[in-house]
């Protein structure tokens, strides 16, 4: 697209806002130089797009009715058949609606992308189809994936599959619900603060946030390149390991993928836990918003591992309690920069940029009035912090995340896995809009204390159902060494089979 030639008045106004008072007073010389420079954007049109991602013509899709989809798990239903054979042959796959599927509408929970249809597939979609899966729809997610609840999607709330009127967790809300209702066999989720693990916990399914970079993020709407993850959601640990096997490994595009180690996730999965060292992370229990019965249910599940021959001990990582603060400092600037200033994608990376999605966001900037309370809050605080200190706090937080990472590494040098409750409580009622912005924001973040730290330290984390409290599922979170998902699956399988 061309950039219009500037006028002296436009350059004078811009210079004044930046602080170039001399140019503002006499803008003509700079206007002429800028007019020459913007011609490079016309030259770009002569060069074809590289087209690294597979494309597809528009595919028939339908928005299910409330009667067909009472929990609102789905944005659209469709059918795209994969290979005739493979590791995922016959699997009905739901894809989170922040992930590009060529020819199928994708709104990423927002008003801005309400009419957007991508023309490329994400790498994980390509791999799932090559492994024999059938894509059966796009699952509902939170507005720009910026909530841990299930109440902010522009298309409406998502209900917990075990109790209507309660949250399913987010932001991969529909991806969890569709598994419980039986409408999908496996689903894809994306996780920046716990968005796979939190809905897995509250809805009662298995969800893995892989080691950072193990699964390529290519072709997925970003929040911040420092903590973007994509991973599998399933009903069983065995299925989760099977799904990861199909989608893990470098794709030659995603710049997050450095020194990736792909393991065998299936051979040892039923080997049991005898002799394994399980560290119960002290600071993961009794957290803010914690329910004592949830903490006890997780401890009971861990005690059962001791009965199977595991060595179970308490381990303290004091910095764990500060992990959410470090994450928030990164997220405030990172999410505001990516989602709100940069048209839904990051910059400065040798990545595959979804130009059509970015254009669509640019064309629909006027939809900001539709933003839910949590998106408005991040927008305002991001702008305020930027005004006060630029990017300094983002930089300081990323540096301190390395200290947190080292603290977990030290504990994991003594234990095979660490354990916390995934969420400190069971599913909460969906917030009542009449209770205002504060209640809506609280319902978006109150469940994330144990999940956010591992997005910024990049350790793999697996949520496994371990019981119920008051009829609602409880999730147990296993944290492992980088690229040691195989060990998480061994322990998760033992918990599942107890």
Question: If you compute the radius of gyration of the chain from its CA atoms, what whole number of angstroms results?
Answer: 23
Contacts of 40 (CB under 8 A, 6+ apart): none
96 is catalytic: yes
Find the catalytic residue in 96, 138, 209, 481.
96
98 is catalytic: no
Measured distance CA(497)–CA(95) in Å, rounded:
27
Strands 311-315 and 229-234: unpaired
Contacts of 421 (CB under 8 A, 6+ apart): 201, 284, 285, 290, 294, 295, 298, 450, 474, 475, 476, 477
Find the catalytic residue in 147, 155, 195, 448.
195
- The token duo for 116 is 């957007």
Measured distance CA(473)–CA(429) in Å, rounded:
14
Total Cβ atoms within 10 A of residue 451: 29
481 is catalytic: no
H and E: helices and strands count for the chain: 16, 14
Find the catalytic residue in 61, 150, 171, 175.
171
* Cis previous bond, 171, omega within 30: yes
Q: For residue 349, what are the CA distances in angstroms to 235, 253, 257, 346? A: 35, 10, 12, 8
User: Which residues are marked as active site?
Assistant: 96, 171, 195
């Amino acid at each position: 697209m061309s950039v219009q030639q500037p006028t002296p008045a436009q350059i004078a106004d811009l210079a004044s806002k930046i602080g170039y008072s001399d140019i503002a007073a006499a803008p003509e010389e700079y206007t002429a130089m800028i007019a020459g420079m913007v011609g490079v954007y016309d030259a770009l049109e002569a060069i074809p797009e590289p087209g690294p991602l597979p494309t597809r013509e528009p595919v028939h899709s339908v928005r299910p009715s409330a009667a067909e989809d009472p929990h609102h798990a789905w944005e659209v239903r469709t059918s795209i058949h994969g290979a005739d054979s493979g590791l995922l042959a016959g699997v009905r796959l739901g894809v989170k609606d922040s992930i590009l599927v060529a020819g199928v509408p994708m709104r990423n929970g927002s008003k801005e992308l309400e009419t957007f249809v991508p023309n490329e597939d994400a790498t994980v979609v390509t791999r799932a189809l090559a492994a024999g899966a059938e894509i059966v729809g796009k699952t509902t997610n939170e507005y720009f994936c910026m909530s841990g609840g299930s109440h902010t999607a522009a298309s409406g709330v998502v209900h917990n599959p075990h109790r209507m009127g309660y949250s399913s967790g987010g932001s991969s809300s529909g991806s969890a619900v569709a598994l419980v209702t039986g409408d999908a066999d496996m689903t894809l989720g994306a996780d920046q603060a716990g968005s796979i693990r939190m809905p897995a916990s509250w809805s009662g399914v298995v969800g893995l946030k892989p080691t950072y970079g193990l699964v390529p993020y290519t072709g997925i709407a970003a929040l911040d390149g420092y903590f973007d993850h994509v991973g599998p959601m399933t009903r069983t640990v065995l299925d989760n390991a099977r799904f990861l096997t199909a989608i893990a490994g470098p794709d030659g595009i995603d710049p997050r993928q450095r020194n990736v180690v792909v393991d065998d996730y299936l051979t040892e999965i039923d080997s049991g836990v005898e002799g394994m060292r399980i560290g119960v992370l002290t600071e993961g229990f009794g957290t803010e918003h914690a329910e004592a019965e949830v903490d006890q249910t997780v401890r009971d599940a861990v005690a059962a591992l001791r009965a199977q021959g595991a060595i179970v001990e308490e381990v303290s990582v004091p910095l764990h309690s500060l992990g959410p603060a470090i994450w928030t400092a990164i997220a405030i600037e990172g999410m505001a920069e990516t989602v709100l200033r940069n048209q839904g994608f990051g910059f400065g990376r040798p990545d595959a940029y979804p130009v059509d999605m970015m254009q669509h966001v640019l064309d629909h900037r006027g939809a900001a009035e539709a933003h839910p309370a949590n998106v408005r809050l991040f927008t305002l605080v991001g702008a305020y912090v930027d005004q006060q200190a630029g990017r300094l706090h983002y930089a300081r937080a990323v540096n301190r995340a390395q200290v947190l990472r080292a603290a977990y590494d030290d504990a994991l040098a003594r234990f095979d896995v660490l354990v916390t409750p995934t969420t400190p409580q069971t599913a909460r009622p969906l917030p009542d809009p009449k209770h205002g912005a504060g209640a809506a924001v609280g319902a978006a973040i109150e469940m994330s204390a144990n999940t956010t730290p591992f997005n910024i330290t990049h350790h793999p984390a697996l949520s496994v159902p371990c019981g119920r409290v008051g009829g609602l599922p409880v999730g147990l979170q296993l944290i492992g060494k980088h690229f040691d998902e195989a060990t998480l699956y061994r322990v998760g399988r033992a918990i599942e089979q107890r």
